[in-house]
Structure 1
Amino acid sequence: MRRLFPLLACLTFLAACADGARQLNKPVEPIGDFKLGHAVVIAPNIVKGPASRDATDEEWIAAVDSAIETRFRRYQGDRFFHLGVSIEGYVLAQPGIPLVFTPKSALIVNVTVFEDATGQKLNEEAMQLSALEAPSKDTFIVGSGLGQTKEEQMAALSANIALSIETWMRKQQRDAGWFGGPDAGVPIVPEPAEEVAPEAAAETADADTGEAAEVMAAVEEPELSAPAN
Structure 2
Amino acid sequence: MRRLLILSCLAVLTACGGIRDDLNAAPEPLGTFRLGHNIAVVNEPVQGPFSRTVEDAAWQAAVTTAVNDRLGVERFEGAAFFHVGVAVEGYVLAQPGIPLVYSPKSVLIFSVNFFEDATQEKLNDEAIQLTVFEPCCTVPFLGSGFTRSAEEQMEGLAFNAARAIERTMRENGSWFGADDEVLPQDDTILEGNVLEDNPDLIAPAEIAPAEGT
Alpha-carbon deviation of 1:45?
A: 4.1
Partner of 1:207: none
SS at match of 1:24: helix
Residues 1:180 and 2:181 are matched in the alignment: no
Number of residue pairs aligned between Structure 1 and Structure 2: 163
For residues 87-140 of structure 1, the C-alpha deviation after alignment (integer angstroms, 9 at most, x for no partner) is 00000000011221111100011100000000000012110011101223x633
For residues 153-191 of structure 1, the C-alpha deviation after alignment (integer angstroms, 9 at most, x for no partner) is 000000000000000110011xxx1101229xxxxxxxx
Partner of 1:105: 106
* CA separation of 1:18 and 1:119: change in aligned 2, threshold 3 A: farther
Which structure features the higher share of strand residues? 2
Alpha-carbon deviation of 1:31?
A: 1.0
* CA separation of 1:46 and 1:143: change in aligned 2, threshold 3 A: same
Partner of 1:31: 30
Alpha-carbon deviation of 1:152?
A: 0.3
Distance of 1:67 and 1:19 partners within structure 2? 17
Contact 2:101 2:141 (8 Å CA) reproduced: no
Contact 1:21 1:156 (8 Å CA) reproduced: no
CA RMSD in angstroms, aligned pairs only: 1.9
Q: State, as a whole percentage, how many aligned pairs show the same letter.
A: 48
Alpha-carbon deviation of 1:43?
A: 1.1
The structure whose Rg is larger is 1
Q: Which runs of 5+ in 2 are unaligned?
A: 1-15, 181-213
Residues 1:163 and 2:160 are matched in the alignment: no
Alpha-carbon deviation of 1:18?
A: 10
Q: TM-score, normalised by structure 2?
A: 0.72
* Paired residues for 1:1-229 under 5 Å: 21-73=20-72, 74-136=75-137, 139-173=139-173, 177-182=174-179
SS at match of 2:140: coil
Alpha-carbon deviation of 1:20?
A: 5.6
Distance of 1:40 and 1:104 partners within structure 2? 27
